[in-house]
Copies of this chain bind each other. A is one copy, B any other.
Amino acid sequence: MAGTRMVVVGGDAAGMSAAAQARRRRPPDELEIVGFERGRHTSYSACGLPYYAGDVVKDWRDLVARSPEEHAEQDIEVRTRHEVEAIDLEARRVRVRDLDGGRTVEEPWDVLVVATGSEPLRPPIDGIDLPGVYGLSVLQDGIELRRAIDAGPRRAVIVGGGYIGLEAAEALVNRGVSTALVEAAPQVMSQLDPDMGELVSQAVRDIGVELHLEEKVEAIEGDGRVRAVRTAARTLDADLVVLGLGTRPAVGLAESSGIQLGESGAIAVNPRMQTAHDGVWAAGDCVEARHLVSGEPVSFHLGTIANKQGRVCGINIGGGYATFPGVLGTAVSKVCDVEVARTGLSEAGLDELGLEWEQTAVDSTTRAGYFPGAAPIRTKVLAERRSGRLLGAQIVGRDGAAKRIDVFATAIWNGMTAQEMVNLDLSYAPPFSPVWDPVLIAVRKLSEQVERSLGDRL
């Protein structure tokens, strides 16, 4: 065949979005597309895993957006259980191991997309590999954790209070498992400022989780099977442990193949998702992106970003033109009824940049105060001192609170100031918000602080 051969390393969001977009623009006789995926599954929702483990989602197959067979229908061949072990940038080949068959083959490419994703952090804690210790990173993890919960554990310990840890806590509590959570930092959800993080810590306690902050795990104990988690302060019984210690970009393959990494440690790409190497593209958790507030390269691992970057990558490979401008780190989660969201920079991030800022946190309601179902919402906003440029926002509240973060994300994306944002024409009706939406109440107060910082009469 005289066409171009596109090889995709990684069969999840970024890689398969790139493949799909490239295919839409170039037919099979022009572009052959082959993907290699180490796991058994393609294009699934890793974010759905805690909900499958918690039996909110009944069937793991529902988490799969597109199976290898469905990709094949679009003339995209994905070989699962095939791990790419090496990339030869000169010869334009990859070495691929068939994990079930054991065979290793060399595969040529004209265009390569590195979409190896991220991998969970696994610090060298004694006992971390004991049976009964689960991660929640790939689909197989979710299937195994669900099976372990189905078996009826008495007591679980979660290590790490980030998104995965908190979502796992909700799952375990909903399944009736007595649960403790250990976090080395002084708060859960370190992406939030301490005052907002404390609200989430309280939410974790309120659902009945035994929360231990500022305690580092020293060892996971057991003989042949996990029995306890030991911290400096105590030993917590556990017949099930879930690790949620964060993730790092999976760049081992890229690095050993000589692909250039960026400052953040993830693969460096230009806005079209091209690496420094001819014909080599990369997208998703394994690449770095520009933070649109700080201007700095960052490595976030979020499905939204991976999908968008994969799309941009595939459009360009397909002969179109698209760029990925950067990220704000917008994220949302919940702990049972408590919703949590954030975007932009937190106080710690602003400190690092040496910026001065005003901040406010206001309590309001998700609907008109007099309307049934009006739920509490605390909205925190950060803006640059004097200029008023919006820098970040955080929301903790109940039903209907968190998705309002998207308004802040859009405002920050556009470089709005608090003073401008006050007049933003947002929607209102009593079942949906107070006449001043909580978002606007917060920026209204913040804009007054900014103006006061200018010495205006207020």
Contact = CB atoms under 8 A, between A and B. Distances in A.
A445 interface: no
A381 to B, nearest CB: 14
A57 B371 contact: yes
B410 A414 contact: yes
A430 B46 CA distance: 10
A431 B166 CA distance: 14
A320 interface: yes
A162 interface: no
Contact of A400 (B319, B321, B403, B437): B403
Given A406-B407, A457-B25, A424 B413 contact: yes
Interface string A417-449: 000101111111111110111010000100000
A450 interface: no
A409 B426 contact: yes
Given A368-B48, A407-B406, A414-B416, A304 B426 contact: yes
Contacts of A431: 51, 334
Interface in A360-395: 368-372
B425 A403 contact: no
Interface in A298-326: 302-305, 307-308, 311-312, 318-321, 324-326
Contacts of A67: none
Interface residues of A, number: 79
Give the copy number.
2
A63 B324 CA distance: 47
Determine which residue in A324, A326, A327, A413 has the highest number of CB atoms from chain B within 10 A of its CB, and name it. Answer: A413
Given A320-B456, A406-B437, A407-B410, A427 B331 contact: yes
Nearest to A305: B425
Interface in A19-74: 24-25, 45, 47-48, 51, 56-57, 62-63
A343 interface: yes
Nearest to A344: B425
A435 B404 CA distance: 16
B400 A425 contact: no
A333 interface: yes
Given A45-B368, A370-B45, A456-B321, A424 B410 contact: yes
A329 interface: yes
A341 B427 contact: yes
B308 A422 contact: yes
A425 B413 contact: yes
Given A47-B435, A48-B368, A414-B414, A427 B451 contact: no
A413 B435 CA distance: 19
Nearest to A52: B370
B48 A427 contact: no
A139 interface: no
A457 to B, nearest CB: 5
Interface string A144-176: 000000000000000000010000000000000
A405 interface: yes
B56 A426 contact: no
Contacts of A424: 409-410, 413
Contacts of A420: 325
A133 interface: no
Interface string A333-374: 110000101010000000000000000000000001111100
Given A45-B430, A402-B432, A403-B404, 18 more contacts: A13-B435, A24-B458, A45-B370, A47-B428, A47-B429, A48-B430, A56-B371, A57-B371, A311-B422, A320-B458, A326-B425, A331-B427, A332-B428, A334-B431, A341-B427, A403-B427, A409-B427, A413-B424
Among all A-B residue pairs, the 9 with the closest Cβ atoms: A332-B427, A62-B370, A414-B414, A410-B410, A328-B425, A330-B425, A304-B428, A406-B426, A330-B427
6 contacts: A47-B435, A404-B406, A405-B427, A406-B406, A407-B407, A410-B424
Interface of A: 13, 24-25, 45, 47-48, 51, 56-57, 62-63, 163, 292, 302-305, 307-308, 311-312, 318-321, 324-334, 339, 341, 343, 368-372, 400, 402-407, 409-411, 413-414, 416, 420, 422-433, 435-437, 439, 444, 451, 456-458
